[in-house]
Structure 1
């Protein structure tokens, strides 16, 4: 079986490996620091994240949704956890209490996903997730990701200052990837992400030779509830439950978008199997101090950039990624990849998602009234994204992460607008085409 896999797929698998890594490794690092974990515990959580993400991607490709789509730590949860950790002292909670409440909330969210998914909840979500709602979701997701990657490209420190040398190199790398994608042959452009990371990593090491990565000795891979034992912090649990429901809608957006690339329709059984796997692995994340999982709609950007849709590539990448977690020396090596390089390459990769969001609403004609159905949620979401987190400090702790999340609020508003308003009443009839007289009858 292995011998039948072409070199093209093996290279695409390596590309998936880097894609998974650059989308994943910052998450356990930031969360470990937020919870004040020891360096060894953070290193162990990094390995656990690699193993679970790699295995889940393999299972999804083989049995779950059966597409080349990554399933990993969900960004929606990331903002929630960091916000709760930062706000804990102001409301008299310890980090252990917050972590225990999140563990309980993650377990509730995972069971909810498993139960609702098995009952066919996806069918209901597909009805309310109209092309407009999916377009809004993709617009906001693209903007959120590209903004984050752009900040990472600039090498910004905690004070918000830009490292000019790092920023200059990142811009050159981004331009290089764009040129490879546009001007390279079909074969070369298919590996633009991989080429960009390798070339950028080498360039970074040559320009900044003093930069080095010190690998910490990892703790035990089997460490239950490193953030804190499950408790009954009701507010945190309910917030996690709501975010879990919103995270379920992400699967609808992702699979409904990717199926257009595959020119197929996702069956109800595929949705059920996908939710089951994501839910089960979210239980693991609750037990091992990791973020709950979710489908990466950003995978569409990689698929559109590379034009390689084979599931075997994702399976190979997932196997390699899990191997990184099992071999500390390899995970240490990959952890030395400069974040600015990864951000520069992903910045270009996710530009394709903007085109996907435009195609989602293609065919709709907007007038001065109907434009509100897309302009209001998109612009509201962008506005919230650009408001400093401390501006929401006066809000109750348990709704603050939701209200301050531009992506979540934009999607919720879009769902409300599409459900509560009959937009067809405000659509103007198509203007009649001008009559053209035959040439023989012209004066």
Structure 2
């Protein structure tokens, strides 16, 4: 009886690990691909970069859950840096720089920014950030992150192309996948509901292959022949002042991901994160960012979006992430396995994660729960959220009139929204308006019955 129970537990842990594996993969694979194409790298170099990204992401996750923040949270290529790199490469011609110069300067920015964040963490700057990141700031951050991710994955699941058109067949299949995930999650009995994402990926992948074939639309040519561990593949680090300045700002913004992620995780796990957990998390994340920069990878960050995944699966054990991260390392180490995994249609992964990230919307609202709003104090959350969403819906080409080095920041709705709410929370005395609203409230003449 005991052996049977152990076997069942081991199988459940393996399935939970595979579910984490697909979460890690879906949040990682497009980063080296898109950046490689933006920098004009050869297919073999892109494939090698993808393998390095898989291996280092898996290693960082294991290091974090064993010695770092010790939560079941993903650490991987940071979204803030991803958007920044793509924006800078797109505006390189306006700055009079070729792709090689931009790549070298970006590497210098990665190294300098990561080193600065490590120094700030050791000097106690995390305590300052924790004071700045009030529940309102964290709520706005999570709301904007939810909108940003939902927008990204919605486009992926409907087959949205560069011409701005839908693929109705892919969109229809994605809708069915979403329904399957939601039904299994809501109606699944016992452990079944915990594996709704894995079931959605498996069923969706099989359906996609049956309808459209096995073409992943992801180019992987040369993965078996490229040198995986090529030192400084982007050349000697450059020190372009403008790119370095923007990079330092991105590093500070990325540092706030740790604060938001660990604070939200503390509530989910019902275990308050200690000061040393914040410091270790930042040290390991940026230490791996320095290593990754030397191998042509963007800096890493703690994924606040892991909260939505955890709330959807209800699998909070670190062992599950450990298994998934270990599998991710194995996948990255063998080109044959990497080539197999990238056959996962991005529309399937996007549809599944779209459902998972719906949970983050609830997390954001619970973060600001208990705060009373009136006609005046509503500005503290409405202004940054709606401004950020508005910027997210404006094409990046609309920002070409701005100075090239300000484009990556000004065109990022998440960054602008967070900066705005931080300013509002630290400049405006909102309690004064709350008091006035309370004193000026009309008093009913009716007596209670």
Which 10-residue stretch deviates more, 47-56 or 77-86? 77-86
CA distance in 1, matches of 2:220, 2:31: 17
Asked if the contact 2:109–2:248 (Cα under 8 Å) also holds between the matched residues in 1, the reply is yes
Matches within 5 A, 1:77-116: 77-116=81-120
Q: Which residue of structure 1 aligns with residue 39 of structure 2?
A: 35
Q: Name the CA distance, whole Å, in 2 between partners of 1:81 and 1:224.
A: 20
> CA shift at 1:209, angstroms?
2.0
Change (3 A) 1:210 1:275: closer
Summarize the Cα distance change of 1:29–1:199 in structure 2 as closer, same or farther, 3 Å threshold. Answer: same
CA distance in 2, matches of 1:380, 1:314: 35
What is the alpha-carbon distance in structure 1 between the residues aligned to residue 155 and residue 403 of structure 2? 29
Distance 1:367 1:229 in 2: 55
Deviations 1:11-41 (A, max 9, x none): 1111100100011101111111001111100
Measured after TM superposition, the shift of residue 435 of structure 1 is 6.1
Give, in whole Å, the separation in 2 of the partners of 1:151 and 1:209: 21
1:61·1:311 contact (CA, 8 Å) conserved in 2?
Answer: yes
Deviations 1:79-125 (A, max 9, x none): 11011111111221011111111101100111012111122221110
Matches of 1:232 and 1:47 in 2, distance apart? 27
Which residue of 164, 167, 188 maps to 2:168?
A: 164
Structure 1 residue aligned with 2:351: 344
> Distance between the aligned counterparts of 1:169 and 1:289, measured in 2?
36
Q: What is the TM-score normalised by the length of structure 1?
A: 0.95
| Structure 2 runs not aligned, ≥5 long | 1-5
Alignment partner of 1:127 is 2:131? yes
* Alpha-carbon separation, structure 2, partners of 1:210 and 1:310: 34
Given that 2:94 and 2:404 are in contact with CA atoms closer than 8 Å, whether structure 1 keeps it comes out as no
Offset from partner CA, 1:399-443 (integer Å, 9 cap, x none): 110010000000000000000011100003397898646xxxxxx
Q: 1:173 aligns with which of 169, 174, 177?
A: 177
When structure 1 is superposed on structure 2, of 219-228 and 184-193 the one drifting more is 219-228
- Does residue 313 of structure 1 match 2:320? yes
Q: Is 1:187 matched up with 2:191?
A: yes
8 A contact 2:410–2:416 mirrored in 1: yes
Distance 1:249 1:164, change over 3 A: same
Cα deviation, residue 185, structure 1: 1.4
2: CA distance, partners of 1:284 / 1:233: 21
Distance 2:198 2:254 in 1: 29
Deviation string, structure 1 residues 335-378 (Cα, Å, up to 9, x no partner): 11000000000000000000000100101110011000000000
CA distance in 2 between counterparts of 1:24 and 1:79 reads 13
Q: Secondary structure at the match of 2:278?
A: helix
Q: 1:137 aligns with which of 137, 141, 147?
A: 141
- Quick one: structure 1 residues 199 and 246, their matched pair in 2 at CA, closer, same or farther if it must change by over 3 Å? same
- Structure 1 gaps of 5+ residues are 438-443
Shift of 1:212: 5.6
What is residue 429 of structure 1 aligned with on the other side?
438
> Counterpart of 1:191 in 2: which secondary structure?
helix
Please report how far the alpha carbon of residue 308 of structure 1 lies from its aligned counterpart in structure 2 after TM superposition: 1.0
* Aligned twin of 1:46: 50
Question: RMSD of aligned C-alpha atoms?
Answer: 1.6
Q: Is the 8 A contact 1:99 1:229 kept in 2?
A: no
TM-score, normalised relative to structure 2: 0.94
The number of residue pairs the alignment matches comes to 435
1:441 matched to which residue of 2?
Answer: none
2:386 alignment counterpart: 379
| Preserved contact between residue 95 and residue 227 of structure 1 (Cα < 8 Å) | no
Number of the residue aligned with 1:408: 415
